[in-house]
Amino acid sequence: QDFAGTGCTSAPQVITATSTAEYLSTPGFPAAYAKNLQCTWVITASSTNAKVYVEIKFLSIEECQYDYLDILESGTSIEKLCTETWEPTQTYTSTANSLTLNFKSDGFGASHRGFLLSYKEIESPTSMVVTEEHTTTMTTDSETVSTVSQSPTSISLTVDQTTTDQETVAASTVS
C-alpha cells in the first residue's frame, strides 16, 4: 500500500511495516508541499520482535526552524531533519518495534519538494554467547599434551542484518 501524502489529518496515520519495502512522502511529492502542514505517521513492525528500518531517499525541506521531518522513538526525537542536516540515503533503525514521523511546515516562506522515504520491517538482531576457551599445548620428546580450560569471561556477539548486503557484528565482554 502506498501511504504517500497521507497522515496530514487530525489523527496520525498508523502503518504496519512488513518485510517488503514501502514508500512514504510528503503530500503532492515531487511537487512542492503545502504550507501549514502537520503530518504524523506511526510505523509499527508486524511482529513485536522486529524493528522498523527507514531510509530517506530524498529530502528538500526549508530550514529546520521553519519546516522539518522529526523522527521519534517512544516519544523522544532521535533526529530532526531538514535540507541543511540531510545526507543522501540516511537510515534509521528503531530499537523497539515502531517509529513515529512528524512533518511540519509553517505558513511562511517558500515550500520545497519535501521527502521520499522507504520503510520496512527487519528481524531483530540475533544474539549468542560464546564462552572463551584457552588451549595450552605442551610438547615433549615422547608425547603432546593439550589442556582446554574455560575462563569465567564470556564474549557476547550480536549480528544485526539490516539488509542482505550489510552485516554488522558487535562484540562485548561480559564478566
pTM for this prediction? 0.69
User: In the predicted model, is pLDDT for residue 172 greater than 50?
Assistant: no
User: In the predicted model, is pLDDT for residue 126 greater than 70?
Assistant: no
**Interval 114-128 mean pLDDT:** 81
pLDDT band at 3; cut points 50, 70, 90: low
Q: What is the pLDDT of residue 118?
A: 94
pLDDT band at 125; cut points 50, 70, 90: low
User: In the predicted model, is pLDDT for residue 116 greater than 70?
Assistant: yes
Query: Which residues, 6+ apart, have CB-to-CB distance to 25 below 8 Å?
Result: 4, 5, 114, 115, 116, 117
Q: What is the pLDDT of residue 4?
A: 62
**Interval 141-167 mean pLDDT:** 43
Task: Report the C-alpha gap between 124 and 149 in whole angstroms.
Answer: 33
Task: Report the C-alpha gap between 134 and 159 in whole angstroms.
Answer: 24
Q: Which of 6-10, 125-129, 142-146, 162-166 has the highest mean pLDDT?
A: 6-10
User: In the predicted model, is pLDDT for residue 143 greater than 60?
Assistant: no
User: In the predicted model, is pLDDT for residue 18 greater than 50?
Assistant: yes
